[in-house]
């Protein structure tokens, strides 16, 4: 809701509105070609819409009799969780018969040893939808659908967009279709460098980002950008839950929770769904179609906590 499909679709909708002007003119509409897109206004309106959705979600929880905690949680034992309010530094414990983990993930940054200022100079999909100033000349690093979606709407908003792709775009998807997506974006003006990797990242004197990157021919190139957006994978947001401490198995590389086909972990009363579950359907739409059961669930990005004593027939995250 906050940094995923909802703001992404609104950004795409805004971008497509601008692109339709050419078609409108051919259909007989009088179009003011001097119209300019206001990035700040769009971000403000999208943020307002998301805040309203969050309010509505909390209201529905209250109406359904679901207790909501806006607190951090971690396991004390397989049936006990400690809830922590970092603002007030207060803690409490609660117990539950069943627990569901659906904490999602966070975007990865470039390696800190090679790029010590990466978190200062780069932004991710957690940041782009709340960026106050116009992205301007943008470098997008990655070839995933998140990278392509972001590059697509940035190009439509008039940004000068360059993409560094380590291998190929949409590597795990049908490559005939992937090549058509790449060709379409190139025709729109996006510049692609395949087999390319960032070698150096530093802040320029004017506050812009100076990037040195190597292309597949071994040549080094240097350019300066207003925005460097990275989409190089995600890591499950499970590290603070103390899963290992209570015996829940996770995949060491991705930090995702290992489950069976019924979304159960190796501890049968602890379940996991969504992007934090290993080798299971990702994203919200598939995740909501999981087993229904009496549960105490850890939702959102670890910050949302729901409790209900009786069973509920439908779970929406």
Asked whether residue 300 carries a pLDDT value surpassing 80, the answer given is no
Q: Exposure pattern of 260-292 as b/e (b: 16+ CB <10 Å)? A: eeebbbebebbbbbbbbbbebebebeebeebee
Domain span holding position 86: 5-104+236-307
38 & 87 share domain: yes
Q: At 292, is the pLDDT very low, low, confident or very high (cuts 50, 70, 90)?
A: low
Burial class (CB in 10 A: 0-12, 13-18, 19+), 199: middle
> Is the same domain home to 246 and 97?
yes
pLDDT digits (tens, 9 = 90+) for 145-185: 999 999 999 999 999 999 999 999 999 899 999 999 999 99
How many structural domains comprise the chain?
2
3-state SS assignment for residue 77: strand
The single residue listed with the structure tokens 């059961």 is 293
Give the residue from 233, 267, 286 where a domain finishes. Answer: 233
Is residue 261 predicted with pLDDT exceeding 60?
A: yes
| Residue 173 and residue 136 share a domain | yes
* CATH code of the domain containing 80: 3.50.50.60
Q: Using one digit for the tens of pLDDT, what is the confidence trace for 181-219?
A: 999 999 999 999 999 999 999 999 999 999 999 999 999
Structure tokens at 241: 């839950």
Q: Is residue 278 part of a domain?
A: yes
- For residue 303, name the pLDDT band (cuts at 50, 70, 90): very low
Mark which of 208, 233, 258 sits at the end of a domain.
233
Cα angle vertex 140, ends 136, 145, to 5°? 125
């Amino acid at each position: 809701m906050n940094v995923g499909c909802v703001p992404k679709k609104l950004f795409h909708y805004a971008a497509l509105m601008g692109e339709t002007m050419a078609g409108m003119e051919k259909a007989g509409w009088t179009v003011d070609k001097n119209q300019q897109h206001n990035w700040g206004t769009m971000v403000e309106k999208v943020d307002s819409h998301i805040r309203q959705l969050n309010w509505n979600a909390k209201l529905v929880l209250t109406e359904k009799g679901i207790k909501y905690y806006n607190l951090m949680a971690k396991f004390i034992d397989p049936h006990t969780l400690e809830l922590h309010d970092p603002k007030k530094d207060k803690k409490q414990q609660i117990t539950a018969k069943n627990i569901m983990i659906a904490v999602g993930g966070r975007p990865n940054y470039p390696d800190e040893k090679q790029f010590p200022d990466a978190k200062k100079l780069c932004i991710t999909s957690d940041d782009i939808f709340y960026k106050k100033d116009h992205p301007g000349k943008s470098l997008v690093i990655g070839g995933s659908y998140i990278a392509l979606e972001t590059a697509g709407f940035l190009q439509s908003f008039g940004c000068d967009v360059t993409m560094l792709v380590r291998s190929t775009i949409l590597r795990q998807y049908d490559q005939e279709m992937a090549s058509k997506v790449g060709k379409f974006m190139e025709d729109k003006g996006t510049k692609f460098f395949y087999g390319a990797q960032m070698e150096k990242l530093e802040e320029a004197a004017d506050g812009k980002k100076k990037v040195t990157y190597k292309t597949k021919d071994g040549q080094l190139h240097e350019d300066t950008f207003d925005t460097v957006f990275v989409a190089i994978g995600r890591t499950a947001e499970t590290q603070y839950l103390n899963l290992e401490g209570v015996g829940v198995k996770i995949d060491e590389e991705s930090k995702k929770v290992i489950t069976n086909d019924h979304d159960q972990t190796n501890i049968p009363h602890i379940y996991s769904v969504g992007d934090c579950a290993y080798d299971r359907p990702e994203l919200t739409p598939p995740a909501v179609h999981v087993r229904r059961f009496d549960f105490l669930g850890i939702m959102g990005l670890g910050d949302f906590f729901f409790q209900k004593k009786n069973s509920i027939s439908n779970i929406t995250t």
